[in-house]
Structure 1
């Protein structure tokens, strides 16, 4: 993983914490969770407050994710909203955190001047032992505390202020007035500063969970669809009247579901030609085949011309594997007809020709699923399924790891927004 760290392909864009007062607040939050305080003088955090250095110090990468459910968070500054989430068991953790930050921006800005917020995303289950545990999560409740108890003291000041206004002789109580002054020194003027978060409950929409080897849950009006391995506890048994179940290896049924619910952008010349997505997947397929089958292959030379030359020299292998010649043929069909008739395409190849429909709110999750089906495209895997990418990266030969890092730096990292827009039609930054 050293190359990934040096290239900022893992734990990249984190915020460094090295100011004593912030470390002190972080430690009070850890203590609030019943955890050992950090002795580090400097560490990095993501949007949720997770720190890879603190995780290593504690010997627990799940110190903010106990039982991989009810995710904990520590907010030291409102600037964390722009950070990534680098360790999570649910794909929508970042989305929920964004909603919390945006809905409570005034309170977070005010509180973090003097305090840190911490707590957990309470999603109604303590452990996940069955698909029903995942299906029961319809909404989450942010349970919020503050390291210096600014929240509690603001509440106390509010009560005393109300008492001063409602009880005629309260202004004569010197002890109460002195307490109000003492509290106001910490909280400021609570009539002007909103110190209590306004919105704490949010919907838990479609998501991927890393339990049972990975489970996808999609919601449509009054029904849900679960995609996972068929040996997962509760498969086809939890709420069968309401939930459809699809084997993660049943490409035909998965494709039918995603196409029917308009979650896919089907292959049309209008976007295929401009995006270069098929050409990208052809190059990824050749690179993967060459690394796996040719000990003399030099990935450092693997530009398009080199890859095509290798393909000609290994025509039988390329033909038997099938991906490259299939995509070549589909490119010709698009050029001639402007579209591809999908019923005639073998199910295992259909996901090579599509991308998620960006007008659907689940498009990041759908692209994640597509990238999982074709792991040879490590660039797409890194973009949409980082957990899967990191797992596969560790098993790659060292010379392939070098090429993977180089390719990611030259493609995605060189222009993240432009790359996502061109290949996948994703417009948001």
Structure 2
């Protein structure tokens, strides 16, 4: 992993904490939330205040996320909103924290100038003993305050001020006035500079979780479903009609199509389909070379082409399917029939625009695992787990590629591959539409439920 860290592909954009004042504030917050403290004088934190260095020190990577279902957080600065979320257990957690910080940025800026802010992403359950428990999670409520309780004290002071104004003899109530003065010493003049950090509630109808080996929950679609990375039988009884595992390719393909969640990349507006297909083919060849222990040289396209020549008719099915589609895109071949049973099928798709876009792309990265660029962008937990299993040769190729082709313009690369970012405002969600033109009625490349015909 050191190679990824050095290239800024792992633990990138973390916030450095090195001043004695901020370290002391962090320790007060850590003591308040967990009863623990750190002896470290400098470290880095993510958007939730989690530090990988402190996780190593405490021997607990979940010291801010007990049971993995109600994540606590520590805010030292509003700059944390741009940091990643490490050890992610739910795909929605970072977006919720980011929205919370942005919605309360001015208040948080003032509060963190005097103290650390600590809080929790609360859901309706406290433990996850079975997959079915996950579907009891419907919404997440974010509550936070400074360690000194400035927000709570400001609310008390505001109520006392109202009482003082409303009671005819309020100015004669010495105890009331003494309480107001005591609180005002902590909060300042809340009539001129109000302190308000209201609880915020976010709906969580669809999400990915790392629990139970990885699970996708889709509830805000026409046909709700659950997809697991492990065998379907391990889920037990689930309160949804569609429960599948990754081996059920036909069923997943049909379900995605029925919900209008995917579109063929050759029909995606503004996408350089030929360039994307070529890059996917390169990734397939690198994976094939890895499996056969073949040298890939500098892994340039000319080197990879030599591997393709050497493999001949034993080229992976994914490469052949993508190659046929590339020839059609460039006008050098007929329209290929690629059913959901074809190993190239999920490599030819991307998520349709909509609130589930990122979640669907995460799912596609598991169904098309040789596309390491997509996996790195949309599913870093899976990428890091896969990276640990590769040879040093493949690690070097992938790290160099991502540094060269992705890191220089990460936002541009994401939009080129997946389209514009979906709106964070889920109050007005666009309806999904089925894939167009050639895909209408029979799926992107042919019938998704008649692949054997």
The answer to whether the superposition gives a TM-score over 0.5 is: yes
**Is this contact kept in 1: 2:296–2:304, CA < 8 A?**
no
From 325, 329, 334, the counterpart of 2:324: 329
**Is this contact kept in 2: 1:268–1:340, CA < 8 A?**
no
**Is this contact kept in 1: 2:281–2:322, CA < 8 A?**
yes
**Distance in 2 (alpha carbons) for counterparts of 1:216 and 1:347:** 23
Counterpart check, 1:306 vs 2:306 = no
**Is this contact kept in 2: 1:44–1:53, CA < 8 A?**
yes
1:61 corresponds in structure 2 to 61
Q: CA RMSD, aligned part only? A: 2.4
**Distance in 2 (alpha carbons) for counterparts of 1:231 and 1:421:** 34
1:412 corresponds in structure 2 to 406
Uncovered stretches (5+) of structure 1, i.e. residues with no partner: none
**Is this contact kept in 1: 2:232–2:244, CA < 8 A?**
no
**Is this contact kept in 2: 1:119–1:145, CA < 8 A?**
yes
Q: Write the deviation string for residues 327-373 of structure 1: whole angstroms up to 9, x where unpaired.
A: 1111122334999566646343211111111x211111111111111
1:211 corresponds in structure 2 to 211
2:341 corresponds in structure 1 to 346
2:430 corresponds in structure 1 to none
Deviates more, 1:59-68 or 1:188-197: 188-197
Equivalent runs, 1:159-308 vs 2, <5 Å: 159-174=159-174, 176-220=176-220, 224-228=224-228, 229-231=230-232, 233-235=234-236, 237-239=237-239, 242-268=240-266, 271=269, 274-275=272-273, 276-295=275-294, 297-299=295-297, 301-308=298-305
- Change beyond 3 A, Cα 1:340–1:168: farther
Uncovered stretches (5+) of structure 2, i.e. residues with no partner: 424-453
Deviates more, 1:21-30 or 1:360-369: 21-30
**Is this contact kept in 2: 1:116–1:147, CA < 8 A?**
yes
**Distance in 1 (alpha carbons) for counterparts of 2:348 and 2:330:** 14
From 363, 377, 384, the counterpart of 1:383: 377
Q: How many residues were matched structurally?
A: 421
Q: TM-score, normalised by structure 2?
A: 0.86
**Distance in 2 (alpha carbons) for counterparts of 1:66 and 1:395:** 28
**Is this contact kept in 1: 2:154–2:195, CA < 8 A?**
yes
2:364 corresponds in structure 1 to 370
2:144 corresponds in structure 1 to 144
Equivalent runs, 1:24-173 vs 2, <5 Å: 24-173=24-173
